Chain A
C-alpha cells in the first residue's frame, strides 16, 4: 500500500484491537446504543466506552445523544466538518476574487 494517509493509519491502529474490531463490525450492521453494545461484548461497559472513544477519534464511528443514551454509528464518512471548512474557504476565496477582478477591471477601464 503506497502513501497511507494519517487517517487511514489511525483507522488501522484503532482496528488493531480485536474488541474494537468486533464493536466496529457490529456497528457496521446498524446504529446501536452503548448499553446494547456493552451487553454483547466480552468486556465491561467502561471498557466498551473507552474502545468507542478510540474508534471515534479515528473517525470510524460517530455518536449522537438521544435523551440520556448515546447512539453510535459508523461515521457517515465523517466529512461534515471538512465540508464546513471548504465552504468557508471557497466563500472567502471567491469574495476575494470578486474584489480583485473588479479592481483590475477599474484599472483596465482607466487604461482604455
Chain B
C-alpha cells in the first residue's frame, strides 16, 4: 500500500539558479517560524550544500535540531532531501522519507515543485507488527523481550 505524496507547486519571478539559492541557502529567511521542531524557535535553517550534508535548524543559543539530510544536490535543477521527522515531528535517525524540490525554468520565472513521498513509512509500526504476526510468534516475542529488557522500559514499569 502506498499513500499519495504531498505535492505543492508555486511559481516565483526569479530564475532557477536564484530560486534554488533562496530556497536552500536562505531557508531560515522564509521557513515559517512557527514550524520549528526544536524546543526553542530557530534562528537559522541550514541545508549543507552537498550530498550527505545535514539539514537542521539552529536556535539563538546555537543548539541544533536535525531535520534530515541531503540525498542529492543538483543546483539549479533540484535537491532531494531525506525528511527524518517522524509522525511526532521528532528527528529519528532510523526514519526516512523523501522530499524532492525541483526548479523548472518558465518563460518568466521558475516553477518550484515540492514532493514529499514515502508517506506510508509514517505508519510502519502497525504494518510491521502485522507482518511479524503473520510470520509467527518467535519474532514478535523476541522483539518484545528486547524491548522489555531496555532500562527505560523497566523504569517505567517499576
Contact = CB atoms under 8 A, between A and B. Distances in A.
A94 B116 CA distance: 12
A99 B30 CA distance: 8
A71 to B, nearest CB: 17
B154 interface: no
A11 interface: yes
Given A77-B127, A86-B116, A100-B30, A2 B94 contact: yes
B87 A74 contact: no
A60 interface: yes
Contacts of B122: 77-79, 82-83
Contacts of B144: 12, 15-16
A7 interface: yes
- Judged by DSSP, the binding face of A is helix
Interface in A42-97: 59-60, 74-79, 82-83, 85-87, 89-97
Interface residues of B, number: 52
Contacts of A85: 89
A74 B130 contact: yes
A64 to B, nearest CB: 16
B103 to A, nearest CB: 11
B100 to A, nearest CB: 12
Given A5-B86, A12-B144, A101 B22 contact: yes
Interface string A1-31: 1111111110110011000000011001000
A5 B152 CA distance: 13
Contact of A91 (B8, B23, B31): B8
Choose among A7, A28, A94, A101 the residue with the greatest number of B CB atoms under 10 Å from its CB.
A101
B95 A4 contact: no
B6 A97 contact: no
B147 A4 contact: yes
Given A59-B125, A94-B8, A99-B30, A5 B95 contact: yes
A59 B88 contact: no
A59 B12 CA distance: 40
Q: 8 nearest interchain CB pairs?
A: A77-B123, A100-B30, A101-B12, A98-B10, A79-B123, A105-B14, A94-B8, A79-B122
10 contacts: A7-B86, A24-B133, A25-B133, A74-B126, A76-B1, A78-B122, A93-B35, A94-B112, A102-B12, A104-B18
Given A85-B89, A101-B14, A101-B19, 20 more contacts: A4-B150, A5-B88, A9-B153, A11-B125, A11-B126, A24-B129, A24-B133, A77-B122, A77-B123, A82-B122, A82-B123, A90-B6, A90-B114, A93-B31, A97-B22, A97-B112, A98-B12, A101-B30, A105-B12, A105-B13
